[in-house]
Each structure stands twice: as C-alpha cells, then as structure tokens.
C-alpha cells in the first residue's frame, strides 16, 4: 500500500487546536476577548446595531445618506429603524458583475413584554411576557433576567431601558414550583412543564405608602417608573421591551477554549463578519454585510430579510456609483455570491443520538458549512449548487482555513432555516456558513474560540476574493 494513501484520499476533519502555533492561539484569544466585550454590550438587536454603528464609524464608515456619489474604496452603512443594518465597501469591479454578501442576524430568542404587561397578584407585581423565537420555556425560569428596550411616548420621545446588567442594578426572575409541590408538574411532558402564560417576570413587592385599595404594589412600581423615566402605563402600549438573561459572556473551561453567552445565535456571525469588513481595503467585488432582524421568527416585517429594504439599499448603491439602469438590480443579484452566516448545531456527545456523526458540525474543527438546511426531505431548503460549494472549498483550502460541511441533525429528526433562501430566491448563489453552537437558543450558549476565529478568517477571505 502506498505510504500516506489514507491522508491523500480521505477527508479528515481535524481538531483545530492540534498543532496550532502560539501566534495563532494568541490571535484567537485576543479576538475572542473583544467578542466577549461585544456580547456584553449587544444583548438585543437594537443594542447590537448601535454597537455595530460605533465600530463602523470608528473605522471610517459613513451613513450612505451623506453621499450623493460613491466610488471604489468608499465605506458606507445604512441603518433600518435601529434594528437592522447593511454595510458596504465599494469594490473596483462594477456591481453588475456581482457583489459578495455576508448576512447574519442580530435578533436572538428571548421574552418580550406583552402590550399590557403590568399586573399585581398575591402581593407581587409582575410583567406578562410573550416569548420570541424557539425557546425551551423551562430554561427561562429561576435565572437572573435583565430588562432591555425602548418605550416610545405618544409625542415620539424615546426612553431606553437597560436594567440588570450593571452590578449595582437589581435583576428580575421568573419563579418555578418547588420540587416538594411539583408532583403533577413533573409528570408533564417537558414542553408543557412551564406554560407560556406562566412566564411572568417578578418585579416588586412593596405596596405604595398610603395606598389603600387593590393594586398598591402595581401602583408603587408604576410610580417608580414614572419618577425614573417619566412614563405611564399607557406607554407600554408603544414599547419594545425585551427580557434577556443577565449573565455576562465568559470564557468557558479550564483551558478557556470556549465562550459561554446568551445570544451567540447569531451575534457570533454578526460580530465576526462585521470585524472582517472593518479590515477591508482595495477589494475587487463590492462587499456587503447584512445584520438582519426577525430571523428567529421567520424574517418577516420591514426589519426582517424578507423586506424590500435590502433591495432599496443595493439600488441606492447602484444609483450612487452612477451604474444604475432599468432592471440592473436583478442582474446584480443573479451574478452575486453570498455566505448566509448563521450558527450551526454543534455535535454534543451527551445528545449524540440526534446527530449523524459523519455529517455533524464539531466544536473546534473550524467553520461549518451547510449545503442545505430544511426538514423532512430537505423541505424548505436552499440547497447550494455543487459548483458554488466547490468555489467556496477552493477559497477555504487556498487560505488554509479549516472547515467542515455538515447537516443539522439526523434525517427526519428536526431541521432549521436561515435567511439563505431569501437571497437565493433573488438569484444569488448562497451557502450557509457559520459557527457550531452547543445549547443553541438556550439562555447560555456555547461556542469554540477556534471556530469563532475561523469564521472571521473565512468572511475576510470571501470578501477579499
Ligand atoms: Mn440563527
Ligand atoms: Mn436561531
């Protein structure tokens, strides 16, 4: 047998930490320290966009509305209603010959307040919630929770809330039944263990001094909010208040090889693509970075990827480069390439039975590509063309970036979707390409620092192609 035949013929997926050099390891750890800092300042889509704007502006990006004309080398951004953002670095090639898009999302599963959230019961004040995205409800009880969001008064004045992140802030929590009295609850199916209508946030217990009638605890809370923020109960009607875990993002493990944090789906891809874009200069194809909203609930609405806002942005780039003509937008999309940068299900040895080991994404083995997603016979999937997968492989192999091509779980076990199909429908060549995660959609998600840095390198290489 030929020496090294196996190495030559087999696709072996290696642990990226093996034989890593010191400089690379240092680069990974210092990049991830900045990522952890980003996560702690970007716990909602609005906070993520505000933070991304600061990062972009400090790197020379300017609001597209400031330009009447743009030219190769210009760096621009567009923010849609504080909740989604598009950035671009203009390339030397005409946009009609294709642009290179990387698209992630900055919304994450959470609990939203209902429009009429505040009530009192049994001497406690509570906020009623409606969960957002695919959560396992039991995971959201008995953890420290912080309150983030915006209340908009009828006169348009905005009040921003961020309570529970500072060490000196109070936190909030959702209670659960003590085991001693949980016999009936424990017999229920896990998905019914906690009712959606029981995800009520405990927010106070002191009655307002001198108040006699019912609702004096509620009145005390409303009085505190009025004194602090100048709001009344009606202002909740026009608010977007999100409850998120107040845990800080931290390094995980004795070796600090992983990151534990809320909201890594999909801020891990948002951050890595944003940072890759910050390092671009003199590129050929115009580079576009999407930080979208509403992915977790189907990408609908005018801040979601299904909206025409993105088409408007690309049309504006065509207008301002002076390149536009009737129907050119369609051509741009048909000649463009995209990485749909969203997280992948990481292989979890404790729950190995849901994965096909040959086709699972492993933490620490580099960026994970999903040729297709979908569920039950690839239904609903955007299946990347083999030619495009080959193009991506070539890019990764030439840049010596470790990668794995995976499926999300065993056949018929489950499935998922991203924004990939939306751009594919416009004619763009798209593949899902992101970071494998453990405990996806949980209040505390786990990623590997090796993969985070691989994502950054992949996105940079893609735009620099
Ligand atoms: Mn996602
Ligand atoms: Mn998700």
Residue in the structure block whose two tokens are 């969001």: 149
Distance 226 CA to ligand 2 centre (A): 35
pLDDT of residue 171: 98
pLDDT of residue 206: 97
Distance 109 CA to ligand 1 centre (A): 9
* C-alpha–C-alpha distance, residues 284 and 90, integer Å: 8
Distance 277 CA to ligand 1 centre (A): 20
- Find the ligand nearest to 296 CA: 2
pLDDT of residue 305: 97
Q: Where are the domains of the chain?
A: 2-108+262-464, 110-245
CA distances from 137 to 198, 227, 322 (A): 10, 33, 51
Distance 156 CA to ligand 1 centre (A): 32
pLDDT of residue 213: 78
Distance 441 CA to ligand 2 centre (A): 6
pLDDT of residue 287: 98
Read off the pLDDT of residues 343-385 as tens digits, 9 standing for 90 and up: 999 999 999 999 999 999 999 999 999 999 888 899 988 999 9
Distance 195 CA to ligand 1 centre (A): 24
Distance 133 CA to ligand 2 centre (A): 7
Fold assignment, 110-245: Aminopeptidase i, Domain 2 (2.30.250)
Distance 41 CA to ligand 2 centre (A): 20
Fold assignment, 2-108+262-464: Aminopeptidase (3.40.630)
- Find the ligand nearest to 343 CA: 1
* C-alpha–C-alpha distance, residues 264 and 260, integer Å: 8
* C-alpha–C-alpha distance, residues 455 and 433, integer Å: 8
Give the end-to-end CA distance of the chain in Å, rounded to a whole number.
39
* C-alpha–C-alpha distance, residues 250 and 94, integer Å: 43
Distance 363 CA to ligand 2 centre (A): 17
CA distances from 349 to 100, 220, 248 (A): 36, 49, 26
The contacts of residue 393 (CB under 8 Å, 6+ apart) are 403
Distance 72 CA to ligand 1 centre (A): 32
pLDDT of residue 119: 98
- Find the ligand nearest to 342 CA: 1
- Below-50 pLDDT ranges, the chain: none
pLDDT of residue 211: 85
């Amino acid at each position: 047998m030929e020496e090294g035949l196996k190495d030559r013929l087999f696709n072996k997926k290696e642990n990226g930490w093996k034989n890593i050099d010191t400089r690379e390891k240092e680069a990974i750890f210092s990049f991830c320290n900045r990522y952890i800092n980003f996560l702690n300042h970007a716990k909602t889509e609005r906070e993520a966009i505000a933070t991304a704007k600061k990062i972009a502006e400090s790197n020379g990006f300017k609001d597209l509305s400031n330009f009447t004309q743009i030219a190769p080398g210009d760096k621009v951004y567009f923010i849609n209603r504080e909740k989604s953002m598009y950035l671009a670095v203009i390339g030397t090639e005409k946009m009609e010959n294709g642009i290179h898009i990387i698209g992630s999302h900055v919304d994450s599963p959470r609990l939203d307040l209902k429009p009429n959230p505040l009530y009192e019961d049994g001497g406690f004040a509570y906020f009623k919630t409606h969960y957002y995205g695919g959560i396992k409800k039991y995971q959201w009880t008995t953890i420290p929770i912080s309150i983030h969001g915006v209340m908009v008064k009828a006169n348009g004045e905005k009040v921003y809330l961020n309570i529970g992140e500072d060490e000196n802030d109070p936190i909030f929590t959702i209670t659960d039944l003590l085991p001693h009295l949980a016999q009936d609850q424990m017999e229920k199916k896990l998905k019914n263990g906690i009712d959606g209508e029981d995800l009520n946030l405990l927010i106070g217990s002191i009655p307002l001094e001198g108040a006699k009638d019912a609702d004096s605890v509620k009145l005390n809370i409303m009085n505190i909010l009025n004194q602090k923020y100048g709001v009344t109960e009606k202002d909740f009607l026009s608010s977007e208040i999100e409850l998120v875990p107040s845990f800080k993002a931290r390094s995980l493990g004795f070796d600090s090889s992983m990151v534990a944090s809320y909201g890594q789906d999909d801020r891990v891809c948002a951050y890595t693509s944003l940072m890759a874009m910050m390092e671009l200069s003199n590129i050929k194809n115009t580079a576009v970075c999407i930080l979208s909203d509403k992915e977790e609930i189907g990408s609908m609405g005018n801040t979601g990827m299904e909206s025409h806002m993105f088409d408007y942005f690309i049309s504006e780039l065509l207008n301002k480069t002076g390149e536009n003509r009737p129907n050119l937008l369609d051509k741009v999309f048909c000649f463009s390439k995209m990485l749909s940068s969203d997280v992948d299900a990481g292989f979890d040895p404790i729950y190995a039975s849901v994965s096909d080991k040959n086709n699972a994404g492993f933490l620490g083995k580099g960026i994970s590509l999903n040729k297709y997603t979908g569920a039950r016979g690839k239904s609903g999937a955007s299946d990347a063309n083999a030619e495009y997968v080959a193009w991506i492989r070539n890019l990764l192999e030439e840049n010596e970036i470790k990668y794995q091509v995976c499926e999300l779980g065993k056949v018929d076990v489950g499935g998922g979707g991203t924004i990939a199909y939306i751009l594919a429908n416009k004619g763009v060549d798209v593949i899902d390409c992101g970071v494998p995660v453990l405990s996806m959609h949980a209040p505390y998600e786990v990623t590997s620092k090796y993969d985070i840095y691989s994502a950054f390198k992949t996105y940079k290489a893609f735009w620099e192609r």
